[in-house]
A and B are shown apart, each in its own frame.
Chain A
Amino acid sequence: MADFLYFRDDEPHDEPAVTLDAFLGQSNAGAVRVESGEDVRDLLPHLDRLRLIEVSFPAYRDGRGYSTARILREAGYTGELRAEGDVLVDQIPLMRRCGFDSFAPAADIDRAALDRALTRYDNVYQSAADDRTPVWRLRHG
């Protein structure tokens, strides 16, 4: 397996993730995988039972996972939220803003470039799923 990137204080959750259908069908699983075309809202009634939600990025151009992540965080999910698949250096900062806190990229990540990317912007224009303060709030104290 290629790099695994983890931005949480607790230990990574290594239970294998079941499919969304399997999860909704049974389930006492604590980890579920959401494909990019699936409706994550089906998970919302069960968030308190979940410790890991893995969101697939079949191609970096497929941006559905960004909305998936925000919907989960807006609904109050606090467990591990993992982006898996075609996850690249320049997309990770945006994914962090949408609430992802672990990454399982299909190919190795250039760590030096990623460190630069993650620390580059001092400011953000929007409030999102992370705890960064948007500039409109800085402007108005």
Chain B
Amino acid sequence: MYRYDQYDQNLVDTRVEEFRDQVERRLSGALTEDQFKPLRLMNGLYLQLHAYMLRVAIPYGTLDGRQMHMLATIARKYDRGYGHFTTRQNLQYNWIKLDDAPDILADLATVEMHAIQTSGNCIRNISSDQFAGAAADEVTDPRPWAELLRQWSSFHPEFTYLPRKFKFAVIASDEDRAAMRLHDIGIQIVERDGSFGARIFAGGGMGRTPVIGKEIKDFVPVTNLLSYLEACIRVYNRHGRRDNMYKARIKILINALGVEEYVRQVEAEYAALDKQDIDPPLAEFERIAAYFAPPAFEADAPDTVDRSDPDFALWLDQNVGQHKQPGYAMATISLKPVGGIPGDASADQMDLMADLAERYSFDELRVTHAQNIVLPHVKKADLYALWQALNQAGLAEANLDLISDIIACPGLDYCSLANARSIPIAQKIAERFADAGRQRDLGELKLKISGCINACGHHHAGHIGILGVDRKGTENYQLLLGGSGAEDVSLAKITGPGFDEAGIVDAVETVTNVYLGAREQGERFVDTYRRVGMEPFKEALYG
């Protein structure tokens, strides 16, 4: 994985010092809260219901054991011994004191980490495929491209006060594990005539107005990529709406202009920018890419696994994926135990995952946008030992992509914007479907919960989505069906009137029963829904 050189380290250290200065000016009153707000947001510090929340960047979801240990240390030292992995592959601490924030950033900088641009109206942490560098189906590792974007977007002088936040995702396979087309700009690395380039989608996003990103360019070579993206964002910075924060994302601009007109403006801008010496030479990309060379796999590692322990076999079938290297596998550690808080990990669990990564996965971990952790390079011969260690720590839930592998936003328990609680709903649904055999029978079922219309819990992209709303002062939950954030991307539709807390759990069970009754051979929930349509589900819910 990428390692900082003297320049990267200097920039991050300087940021810590800058933020310390800004916090001091805020505490002395030299900065008003209004003036300080965008500065702290640019360092990932939010004011929530009960305390400050600090969001730490985990660029493209990749980290090593040393970094994970540091996240655990910070959780113990400055928080309440927990951290929360997010749908942007980041980590949040929910109980932070403002005066501690500079020290936390200083601790992070010692392990090449930061909280730069994890919030604010700027280019946010770049997300990517959690299986990058390991998946059998990728054309190349997307992370060097993501790292190139990370450096370019950090402290970008022109794009720090955009109309609204701006999110990138980069993938390099046809299977989309990063909800690429639901980002402001989604990039798929593709191969053409023996070289790689970026296929670019723009204007996707969730939030109040979910939109699927549209293709705006079929191939941009790496040595033109940054100037092309500057053109894309400059058009947005100049013409995106600033009068209404709910209409300020690039998707609204592109819908208003029409994609052809947006592309025309981008191309005109690019024609001028291309001459400006914005793009680093190919040698810089190659320098970055060298850090992502495959680890030293054993050429003749055995490709078979002893399945004699039935509990292990269940986990193997559900949570372990095909690696490009024979004899190796990608193992997902579920952070969704039944009754737990989706995405939460204790400091002890973080330390354990770090130890296991060091021991079994070439010192690498990944955070997934579904709020789980991946050990990307595990020798098949080590899988059983790994599982035993996870199982002892309560981290061997075999529910990847099943109904209890729920994405949920923090909701009313933490978030000041929330209309309703998300976490207790996730817990109740997981408990209702606690029987592992029943979950496996239901098969792949992506359930996603947001506590308000801002959609941080990705409910539009859920096979089953749940949206918390406020109905005359009480929490109410709308049910949505048929969304997907994967390569079969689609937006979920509302079934009808919402439900109360108990009712929504029943409603989820009702729609799964409709599916079980109607499914044909090999169909997932979402496939059946697409075939039979909304009616039978509505009928069962309201009929």
Contact = CB atoms under 8 A, between A and B. Distances in A.
Contacts of A120: 14, 17-18
Interface string B269-286: 000110011101101100
Interface string A116-132: 11001111111110000
Size range of the interface on A? Answer: 35 or more
B238 A128 contact: no
Given A64-B238, A113-B21, A121-B14, A126 B160 contact: no
A123 B4 CA distance: 14
A60 B35 contact: yes
A20 interface: no
A42 interface: no
Given A66-B158, A123-B11, A140-B284, A90 B22 contact: yes
A52 B193 CA distance: 49
A137 B283 CA distance: 10
B2 to A, nearest CB: 13
Most chain B beta-carbon contacts within 10 A, residue among A67, A70, A123: A67
B357 to A, nearest CB: 29
Most buried by B among A63, A127, A135, A139: A63
A15 interface: no
A24 interface: no
Nearest to B277: A127
B155 interface: yes
A64 B277 contact: no
A136 B150 CA distance: 13
B287 interface: yes
- Among the interface residues A61, A70, A90, which one has the most CB atoms of the partner chain B within 10 A? A90
Interface centre among B21, B238, B242, B278 (most CB of A within 10 A): B238
Interface string B151-169: 1101111111111000000
A129 B273 CA distance: 12
Contacts of B161: 60-63, 66, 91
A63 B237 contact: yes
B234 interface: yes
Interface in B1-23: 5, 7-8, 10-11, 14, 17-18, 21-22
B377 to A, nearest CB: 28
Contacts of B11: 121, 123, 125, 135
A21 B433 CA distance: 66
A66 B369 CA distance: 33
Contacts of B242: 61-62, 64
A31 interface: no
A110 interface: yes
Contacts of A68: 238
Contacts of A22: none
A53 interface: no
A81 interface: no
Interface in B124-165: 151-152, 154-163
Interface residues on B, range: 35 or more
A67 B284 contact: no
Interface string A60-82: 11111011101100110000000
Nearest to B287: A139
A35 to B, nearest CB: 13
Nearest to A57: B161
A135 B7 contact: yes
A72 B161 CA distance: 19
Contact of B156 (A71, A91, A121, A126): A126
Nearest to B14: A121
A121 B116 CA distance: 15
A125 B155 contact: yes
Given A110-B30, A125-B154, A138-B7, A63 B284 contact: no
A136 B154 contact: no
Contacts of A116: 21
Contacts of A50: none
Given A61-B121, A98-B157, A136 B280 contact: yes
A29 interface: no
Given A64-B238, A67-B234, A128 B10 contact: no
B157 A61 contact: no
Contacts of B234: 67, 70
Nearest to A64: B238
A33 interface: no
Contacts of B284: 136, 139-140
B238 A67 contact: yes
B326 interface: no
A126 B278 contact: yes
B32 to A, nearest CB: 10
B321 interface: no
Contacts of B163: 63
Contacts of A97: 157
A88 interface: yes
B35 A88 contact: yes
A106 B156 CA distance: 25
B294 to A, nearest CB: 23
Contact of A123 (B7, B17, B237): B7
A95 B287 CA distance: 30
Contacts of B18: 117, 120-121
Contacts of A64: 237-238, 242
A25 B280 CA distance: 42
A120 B343 CA distance: 37
B3 to A, nearest CB: 13
B254 to A, nearest CB: 17
Interface in B315-373: none
11 contacts: A60-B35, A63-B163, A66-B158, A71-B272, A90-B39, A113-B21, A120-B17, A126-B152, A126-B226, A135-B7, A136-B281
Which 5 A-B pairs have CB atoms at the shortest separation, nearest pair first?
A63-B161, A97-B157, A136-B280, A135-B7, A94-B157
Given A67-B237, A90-B22, 10 more contacts: A61-B121, A62-B161, A63-B237, A66-B157, A94-B157, A95-B157, A120-B14, A121-B18, A125-B152, A126-B278
